[in-house]
Structure 1
Amino acid sequence: MNHAPRTRLAGALALAFPLLGQAQTTDQDKPMESVVVTGSRVIVNGDNSPTPVTAVRAQDLLSLQPSTIADALNTLPVFSSPRNQTSNPSAGGAAVSGGGNPASNQLNLRNLGAVRTLVLFDGHRVAPTTANGTVDVDMIPQMILKRVDVVTGGASAVYGSDAISGVVNFVTDNRFNGLKTNIQAGIAEKGDARQSQFGVAYGTSIGDKGHFVGSYEFRDDKGILYRSSRPATALTTIQGAGTAALPYFVAGDTRLATSSFGGYVRTGVLAGQQFGANGVLTAFDKGNRTGFNPTVPTQSGGDGAYYDGSLKAPLRSHQLFGRFDYDFSDTTRGYVEVAGNLKRNAFYANWPLLNGVTISRDNAFLPTAYRDQLLAANQATFTLGKVIQTAPRMNPVIDEHQLFVNAGLDGEFGNGYKWEAGYVHSVSSMLVTTNGNLNNLRLSAALDAVAGADGTPVCRVTLTNPTAFPGCVPLNVFGPGSESAAAISYILGDTHFNAHTFQDDISGSISGAPFSTWAGPVSVAVSGDWRRQAYRATSDATSSDPANLFGCAANGLRFNCTQATQPWFQPYSNRSRVAQTVKEAALEFNAPVLKDAAWARTFDVNGAVRYTNYDTSGTYLTWKVGADWHLNDEVRLRSTRSRDIRAPTLDDLFASATTASGSNATDSLLGVQSTAPNTTKANPDLKAEKGDTTTVGVVYQSSRVRGFSLALDAFDIKVSDAITQVQGTNFSYQAACYASGGTSPLCATQIRALGNFQNTPGNVVTQWFSFPINFAKVHTWGADFEANYATSIQGRPLTLRGLVTWQPHLRYMTPGLPTQDMGGVAYGANGLQASPVWRTTLFARFNPTKALTLDVMERWRSALALSADPTQVTTGSVKSFATTNLNIDYRIKLASGTVNLYANVQNLFNRIPPGANFSGTQQNPGQFGGFPMGDDPVGRYVAAGLRFNY
């Protein structure tokens, strides 16, 4: 069963799918007989679709980007700023705690967010692989993948929620016969990012009525474990204050100005020095702070500490797929397909940071000379900043298990009527093991070290309250590497978070042509869908037991513990089972209006309407109208207008509150740093987003120049009631709250000591909040251009294809805040990422001999501004960036099949992305960012492999 009709390859595919006939494998030897057109149930010819569709054969993309299908798809310019293995995975603690995988491979059409891109597998909705509503497309089996269709227009009336920016449909080769394998290995020029993969697929007929196809794939990508392995961007941050006096600028070699690897003394008589070897105080090199914000403790160069998170998250996966089709009769068919994915991602975040911890004068590890200085100054304590570089970095390991079962029947009856019925069951589990999670309460106990009865350092609580922290090991923080392995092991622990997502989907449809007009048959389809999705999660590191419940003083903790202190640095939330049920009914039609008229060879109108009821967020009506006008055999015009929705996810509605202590944020009202706890929570009152999309296009297929075609499609997308994650720590949201005098809804993102929003001493933030609300509008527009040309040079085939996206504006409009236009900008608020105005991908394929194929891909994006916030002053910009990929394939024909030997070079000229970052990185050098999302930070990468087809 497929949610789209079939069409012949004549004419339509020469334009819409120009590379489909150019496969390097055995597909070269067998023409494609039919194709499923994504986007409609009633359009019977791909030439007549009013909705723009970009279709690419999977092998074509994977030949030039031979890693994951997500990486390959993200080379197309309609996608922008995708989350993947290199998209700042070390910044994903909050995403993991919310039920997501920050190192997953996602698809982001128009840079409107992965949650607004609907993913289909053989025409069926793929359930979210995580609770935050996104789909990790690593679950898609690649060996048996035939092609990928990308619908670049709203499609909720046909497919339901989430299709605001478009649809990506992965289509399997379910009629494949034979055996094929692929073996590949690769390595970066730097000697890291080693990757190997193996795949096998087999298909065969079973009797006269049955057919089986199955595949297995193994992938092992070692990743890049240290950002410092790419020093050009490793410690790049944005600094300054965003004002005319101190504009934001990109700074290199950034470090923390009040923390060092040996321990920097922040207060008291010893202040301004750092502990060196054997706990001896030495001078601290303050580096360069020219142009830096004086309230932000960072510097360029010098002795300050920094982080060194992973640059590319490792990936290891096993993919399995099987499908069985059976013809029960000439008019009735059935199928069952099963896809499974066992996958592991891992990434590395911070070393433990002691951010201004209080140290007692009587600390047993403190040299006597310094204790005497403190005593003479009548100073009982001092504060210290240190990054414990000898400790392991926090290391979340994410194990995903995904199962997708799709079964159905389809057939024909009467005079050309078709029917289909299907059931999809999806299960996804995600186990996150956070190795090296810092236990803040144990840290508090271990930092308060005193001399025991025999003079040996012990934890003070061991003497005062021995049952509170059994096994406590005192922590020596005076000097680089001063901490014992036992003490580090004591303050760090491995915590676990286990999330499960379930979805059941029952659907059916009937389509046919009940009557005809003077121009041809009118096609009509009715369909219905019932879907239920559920989610639950368990954790052994929740934020529900802060120290006020635990009791700091009652358990002997004198310092570094307050009523807001959370037990774990990275908490996770339990979530009892929550669910939502969706009921849908839809009607679609396609009506020919003109045929063989003087000014129209054909003119068709197309429409769809869908009723959708969510028991969690309400009832909605979506619709779509379209027109396809063939002026003649060369030129046609197409246009669509649609109303689409994106319903809130279970995570948006019901996620349990998670509180992280020590936010290390800036309180812009008082101009001070805040370490108040930050709570992320859900909003059960959310409603669906509404999208209004218009597309207008022209297609030209030359009859004079053989093999030449052009397509130009303009788009305009407006999203209202956009679900926005408002964050109290965000500078812009703070400014809007303070400007309103406390009346703005954004003021609910913080609580202050005096209960008001006046700049009064002591009126500090005591609690930050982050939660989603239907608060914003989003508006983007632009155009997609595609050109294709197939010719020959001295009798040898040459194919050229160019894809260009022009997206000059992507505006986020929030009440009470300045509009942020991400068009041509690298970074925006709430994690908004790069949206180049121009994105271009060029393909060239040449066969100098019958056996040899050369493929070249060139990608380019235009230059970017640093910030989308018009109230922020910045200097400099992010230069344009381009990379080139080359693939060489040599085919050897054997008696039993063919062998393809291939070599691939990604980023052939070893281009280094320009350094860039956003304001949230000021105090996090080396933790994330350093380059615009979507750029290639790996550098030149070489892969080679062998494909066998029998």
Structure 2
Amino acid sequence: MTLHDFPRNLLAAALAVAFPLASNAQTAPATEQAPESGQKIEAVVVTGSRVIINGDNSPTPVTAVRAQDLLSLQPSTIADALNTLPVFSSPRNQTSNPSGGAGGVSGGGNPAANQLNLRNLGAVRTLVLFDGHRVAPTTANGTVDVDMIPQMLLQRVDVVTGGASAVYGSDAISGVVNFITDKGFNGIKTNIQTGISDKGDGRQSQFGVAYGTRLGDKAHIEGSYEFRDDKGILYRSSRPATARTTVQGAGTAALPYFVESDTRLATTTFGGYIRNSVLAGQQFAANGVLGTFDAGSRTGFNPTVPTQSGGDGAYQDASLKSPLRSHQLFGRLDYDFTDTTRGYIEVAGNLKRNEFYANWPVLNGVTLSRDNAFLASAYRGQLTAANQATFSLGKIIQTAARLNPVIDEHQVFLNAGIEGEIGTGYKWDVGYVHSSSSMKVTNNNNINQLRLAAALDAVTGPDGTTVCRTTLTNPGSFPGCVPMNVFGPASESAEAISYILSNTHFNARTVQDDVSGSISGAPFSTWAGPVTVAASGNWRRQAYRANSDASSANASNCGALGLRYNCVSSTTEWLQPYENRSRVAQTVKEGALEFDAPLLKDAPLAKSLNLNGAVRYTDYDTSGRYVTWKIGADWHISDEVRLRSTRSRDIRAPTLDDLFAPATTISGSNSTDSLLGIQSIAPNTTTSNPDLKAEKGDTTTIGIVYSSRRIRGLSLALDAFDINVSDAITQVQGTNFSYQAACYASGGTSPLCATQVRALGNYTSAPGNVVTQWYSFPINFAKVHTWGADIEANYATAIQGHALTLRGLVTWQPHIKYMTPGLPTLDMGGVAYGATGLQASPAWRATAFIRYSPAKDLDVDLMARWRSTLGLSADPTQVTTGRVASFYTTNLNIDYRIKRDVGTISLYLNVQNLFDKIPPGANFSGTQQNVGNFGGFAMGDDPVGRYFAAGVRLKF
């Protein structure tokens, strides 16, 4: 194979179309895979079904990409590399605002995990496979952290962009991502890489080694190890353009939403701001002395939300990119028992650590006594003269350590099976997969709210020293209590900070066992060729459990503890709680039939026409029984033009977390009560719903593929898609503005009113009718509808004998509509942020690849990514001004190969975000007060800036 032939084979693989591959499916070669330089060409099986023997004859679109091509241009994780493709949108990864997800850790998630999100319908609707087998969730919330996939022997990734539940089962509503290993690798290869941003941070280092060899005539063994250490970027202020960017305003005609860059909290400072009493409006400077407060600008701001632009207000400074450290291990053994019977076993393991830094401790309107021992006597006198016993203070304790969740994930994937042939053309397989994921969360610097309440009540003891009041009144309640001085920047002693901060722990484990088998063949033929059928069965069991040392149980009795301030019956001991979860499990039994029937062959306007389909019966012991199906047609009009189309019914079953997660309460939610127009500090409880049923997805795809015979190397593909999801599982949140509005408009009859409890038991705006409890829980409540098209263009040629390839991928997705009864329809198409975690959904996303080889052993690659402009809100009832500008980045990679008799040495230099583009500011309107701790840019944009990586690959 020549370098000139390389692009053509790559493009053939990329345009290969396949029916989704079921577990342990046996397929025939469909196309050749472009080899690494010097590697022997081997036939490749493109992801397909048991009944389609040629990937070019299948109706479901698949984009097949060579792993090394992606990693060359985005040399970090395979998830980062895949997310450069426009079919993916708004990924959860190391830079996707991880610090804003501290609450997600409480529920057993990993906000810094690398997840894949096809069509921006959520990672839970994207099924992840490893060598054709389902991977168990790596987090309690049912998602897969793709960092568990070993990369050194990863050959390619097949992305199925269509519903696939009839072949794979649940979760494949938006599509499937299948990671495929190189099962025939022989030799040794290594990769050593280092990188750093041009700001001097974000250091990375990688090392990997792989080995494969034949063991006699019957066996082949291979294995790999990879180490990755990414130091992350620990402060958002290192990129000041977006560090404190928020959306302000009220979403009304009088006060529309707008983007503001230098946002600060208007009633909180680093020294302490007095919110009420005769001392109100002043802040503490050094040595506990009160001074004036610069209120900055409030023009256009929501008067009920205490934020400002500029001035003396405080803000958070969380991490921008989460540190990551991992060890990946992989091994595989293949053995030919006979000429027709083969066995295999493969094991993958991943030991990974994510961590991130969230907020400094916040005193959000704490109540302090005028007799506080640290308060200057002059201020005590003013309070006494005004007959005011207490005052309220807002402060961020900047000298304390930030909340620092550290998430250790340990994943194991074991896949073993036997496959063979019976008679003429019949194939069978049986297999077993065991996968487990353990997640240990250490929440460093978690605030013990009861200790904080005790430390804030500082009084003068009988001996003249300053002590906690509980030491005198309830000496057994808080032994070792250290009084805290909060009057001024850096006023707190190290001992007092240490007293209120502790490390808490949460451990979760998910285990999945999967047994499957199938048989396929062609029992008869029609006038157009053999009819292939397949039968398969599957049994799967998944279990989950968790334990914690930081419960969200309420304080039993504040008075009995001796706490007179900053403690009520709903106050939880820990600011970031976790809950124990006794073992829960679900069992799934499935049976499926597939067929592929040729209808025409070598007829006028039909070189071939095939009809194929599948049907699957699924029985969940937790959420019911379902039938999924798929029907498709593949029509080759000529050697150059083919049409394809599918229609499918798919499902996503509720996860164990959706069904059985224990209630977790976070006190002091600091949310806006839009009925009274005030800030609410009522506790917020997140719980599960055991009555959930599966979501149902109906997907239609229609496409045309053109492979030119006249212009060598030119191919084009256009595929339209339409996806409807009914009974969508939606997390309803009482603190959400839209849900509140629907409740109040109904007078209390809407089911959304179950997300809040009020003091007077009704929904009138009477004084004192405050929210006493917020709730958040999942229900089958919504519908989701999206449509659009994928476009792919490829061209391979040569300029004076030097290979040149061009590849363009475009996704147009103008609408993603979320329809909830009683609420306005939310259309996330072309919007930056939305409620309940909905993220950026550019209407247009495009990626272009250029490879030019100016010399025999030199390749220069360019990748350009672009997205269209974004709106600020998906809610049609909200008024906004301005839009989030479009954004693009360019990556450059230069690879030079030195060939020797013993092997090849490749030296490469990579520059990501070559022109150091800064993403335009964006945020979610519901986080107006979460300054510096969330958002600042649209998810999917690159906040790091120009980044350099260099390395060497050796292959022998």
Aligned length: 938
Matched, 1:468 2:474: no
Helix, strand or coil for the counterpart of 2:451? helix
Task: Quote the residue 1:237 is aligned against.
Answer: 246
User: Can you list the C-alpha shifts for 1:15-55, whole angstroms capped at 9, x where unaligned?
Assistant: 439x99796xx723335432222242211011101000000
Matched, 1:177 2:183: no
Task: Quote the residue 1:91 is aligned against.
Answer: 100
Q: Which amino acid aligns with 1:590?
A: D
| Contact 2:33–2:41 (8 Å) recurs in 1 | no
Task: Quote the residue 2:388 is aligned against.
Answer: 379
Q: Which of residues 374, 397, 402 in structure 2 aligns to 1:388?
A: 397
Write out aligned runs for 1:265-344 (5 A): 265-344=274-353
User: What's the % identity of the aligned pairs?
Assistant: 79
TM-score if structure 1 supplies the norm length? 0.98
* 1:10 shift after superposition: 11
Q: Which amino acid aligns with 2:880?
A: T
Q: Which of residues 521, 532, 538 in structure 2 aligns to 1:529?
A: 538
| Contact 2:10–2:33 (8 Å) recurs in 1 | no
Q: Which of residues 827, 836, 848 in structure 1 aligns to 2:833?
A: 827
Helix, strand or coil for the counterpart of 1:95? helix
Q: Which of residues 159, 163, 187 in structure 2 aligns to 1:154?
A: 163
Task: Quote the residue 1:4 is aligned against.
Answer: none
Pair 259,15 (structure 1): closer, same or farther in 2 beyond 3 Å: closer
Q: Which amino acid aligns with 1:845?
A: R
Return the alpha-carbon distance in structure 2 between the equivalents of residues 107 and 665 of structure 1: 30
In the alignment, structure 1 segments of 5+ residues that lack a partner are: 1-7
Return the alpha-carbon distance in structure 1 between the equivalents of residues 297 and 92 of structure 2: 34
* 1:906 shift after superposition: 0.2
Q: Which amino acid aligns with 1:923?
A: Q
Return the alpha-carbon distance in structure 1 between the equivalents of residues 820 and 400 of structure 2: 42
Task: Quote the residue 1:761 is aligned against.
Answer: 767
Matched, 1:397 2:406: yes
Task: Quote the residue 1:945 is aligned against.
Answer: 951
| Contact 1:20–1:57 (8 Å) recurs in 2 | no
Return the alpha-carbon distance in structure 1 between the equivalents of residues 566 and 496 of structure 2: 17
* 1:168 shift after superposition: 0.2
| Contact 1:15–1:701 (8 Å) recurs in 2 | no
Task: Quote the residue 1:201 is aligned against.
Answer: 210
* 1:9 shift after superposition: 7.1
Helix, strand or coil for the counterpart of 2:384? helix
Return the alpha-carbon distance in structure 1 between the equivalents of residues 795 and 520 of structure 2: 36
Return the alpha-carbon distance in structure 2 between the equivalents of residues 130 and 11 of structure 1: 35
Matched, 1:853 2:862: no
Matched, 1:188 2:197: yes
Q: Which of residues 884, 888, 893 in structure 2 aligns to 1:878?
A: 884
User: Can you list the C-alpha shifts for 1:96-152, whole angstroms capped at 9, x where unaligned?
Assistant: 111110000000000000000000000000111111110000000000000000000
Write out aligned runs for 1:32-181 (5 A): 32-181=41-190
Task: Quote the residue 2:16 is aligned against.
Answer: 16
Return the alpha-carbon distance in structure 1 between the equivalents of residues 139 and 357 of structure 2: 20
Task: Quote the residue 1:424 is aligned against.
Answer: 433
Helix, strand or coil for the counterpart of 1:373? helix
Return the alpha-carbon distance in structure 1 between the equivalents of residues 600 and 401 of structure 2: 71
Q: Which amino acid aligns with 2:737?
A: F
Write out aligned runs for 1:551-590 (5 A): 551-590=557-596
Return the alpha-carbon distance in structure 2 between the equivalents of residues 644 and 666 of structure 1: 38
User: Can you list the C-alpha shifts for 1:525-574, whole angstroms capped at 9, x where unaligned?
Assistant: 11000000000000000112x11x2x111111010000010100000111
| Contact 1:39–1:151 (8 Å) recurs in 2 | no
Return the alpha-carbon distance in structure 1 between the equivalents of residues 400 and 279 of structure 2: 25
Q: Which of residues 462, 472, 477 in structure 2 aligns to 1:453?
A: 462
Q: Which amino acid aligns with 1:814?
A: T
Matched, 1:731 2:737: yes
Q: Which of residues 474, 477, 480 in structure 1 aligns to 2:489?
A: 480
* 1:828 shift after superposition: 1.1
Task: Quote the residue 2:844 is aligned against.
Answer: 838
Return the alpha-carbon distance in structure 1 between the equivalents of residues 445 and 242 of structure 2: 26
Return the alpha-carbon distance in structure 2 between the equivalents of residues 57 and 528 of structure 1: 31
Q: Which of residues 598, 610, 617 in structure 2 aligns to 1:604?
A: 610
Q: Which of residues 360, 363, 367 in structure 2 aligns to 1:354?
A: 363
| Contact 2:15–2:62 (8 Å) recurs in 1 | no
Task: Quote the residue 1:494 is aligned against.
Answer: 503
| Contact 1:11–1:47 (8 Å) recurs in 2 | no
Return the alpha-carbon distance in structure 2 between the equivalents of residues 241 and 850 of structure 1: 61
| Contact 1:21–1:28 (8 Å) recurs in 2 | no
* 1:869 shift after superposition: 0.5
| Contact 2:14–2:62 (8 Å) recurs in 1 | no
Helix, strand or coil for the counterpart of 1:853? strand
* 1:783 shift after superposition: 0.3
Q: Which amino acid aligns with 1:662?
A: G
| Contact 1:9–1:34 (8 Å) recurs in 2 | no
Task: Quote the residue 2:818 is aligned against.
Answer: 812
Return the alpha-carbon distance in structure 2 between the equivalents of residues 40 and 900 of structure 1: 37
Helix, strand or coil for the counterpart of 2:330? strand
Return the alpha-carbon distance in structure 1 between the equivalents of residues 84 and 661 of structure 2: 34
Q: What's the RMSD between the two structures over aligned residues?
A: 1.4
Return the alpha-carbon distance in structure 2 between the equivalents of residues 167 and 31 of structure 1: 29
| Contact 2:815–2:829 (8 Å) recurs in 1 | yes
Return the alpha-carbon distance in structure 2 between the equivalents of residues 42 and 833 of structure 1: 38
Task: Quote the residue 2:694 is aligned against.
Answer: 688
Q: Which amino acid aligns with 2:549?
A: D
Return the alpha-carbon distance in structure 1 between the equivalents of residues 83 and 166 of structure 2: 26
Q: Which amino acid aligns with 1:736?
A: A
Q: Which amino acid aligns with 1:171?
A: I
Task: Quote the residue 1:643 is aligned against.
Answer: 649
Matched, 1:623 2:638: no
Return the alpha-carbon distance in structure 1 between the equivalents of residues 524 and 95 of structure 2: 54
| Contact 2:14–2:63 (8 Å) recurs in 1 | no
Pair 743,574 (structure 1): closer, same or farther in 2 beyond 3 Å: same
Helix, strand or coil for the counterpart of 2:869? coil
* 1:860 shift after superposition: 0.3
Q: Which amino acid aligns with 2:652?
A: R
Helix, strand or coil for the counterpart of 2:872? strand
Q: Which amino acid aligns with 1:512?
A: G
Q: Which moved more, 1:453-462 or 1:907-916?
A: 453-462
| Contact 2:33–2:44 (8 Å) recurs in 1 | no
Q: Which amino acid aligns with 2:816?
A: L
Return the alpha-carbon distance in structure 2 between the equivalents of residues 512 and 119 of structure 1: 27
Return the alpha-carbon distance in structure 2 between the equivalents of residues 278 and 28 of structure 1: 68
Matched, 1:442 2:451: yes
Q: Which amino acid aligns with 1:298?
A: T
Return the alpha-carbon distance in structure 2 between the equivalents of residues 843 and 492 of structure 1: 50
Task: Quote the residue 2:226 is aligned against.
Answer: 217
* 1:14 shift after superposition: 7.6
Pair 20,31 (structure 1): closer, same or farther in 2 beyond 3 Å: farther
| Contact 1:162–1:645 (8 Å) recurs in 2 | yes
Q: Which moved more, 1:335-344 or 1:29-38?
A: 29-38
Return the alpha-carbon distance in structure 2 between the equivalents of residues 615 and 98 of structure 1: 24
User: Can you list the C-alpha shifts for 1:592-644, whole angstroms capped at 9, x where unaligned?
Assistant: 00000011000000110000000000000000000000001000000000000
| Contact 1:12–1:46 (8 Å) recurs in 2 | no
Q: Which amino acid aligns with 1:489?
A: S
User: Can you list the C-alpha shifts for 1:797-840, whole angstroms capped at 9, x where unaligned?
Assistant: 11110000000110000000000001111111111001001000
Q: Which of residues 502, 508, 513 in structure 1 aligns to 2:517?
A: 508
Q: Which moved more, 1:627-636 or 1:40-49?
A: 40-49
Pair 913,20 (structure 1): closer, same or farther in 2 beyond 3 Å: farther
Task: Quote the residue 1:259 is aligned against.
Answer: 268
Helix, strand or coil for the counterpart of 1:638? strand
Helix, strand or coil for the counterpart of 1:42? coil
Helix, strand or coil for the counterpart of 1:245? coil
Return the alpha-carbon distance in structure 2 between the equivalents of residues 529 and 755 of structure 1: 50
Task: Quote the residue 2:800 is aligned against.
Answer: 794
TM-score if structure 2 supplies the norm length? 0.97
User: Can you list the C-alpha shifts for 1:715-734, whole angstroms capped at 9, x where unaligned?
Assistant: 00000000000000000000
Return the alpha-carbon distance in structure 2 between the equivalents of residues 213 and 792 of structure 1: 36
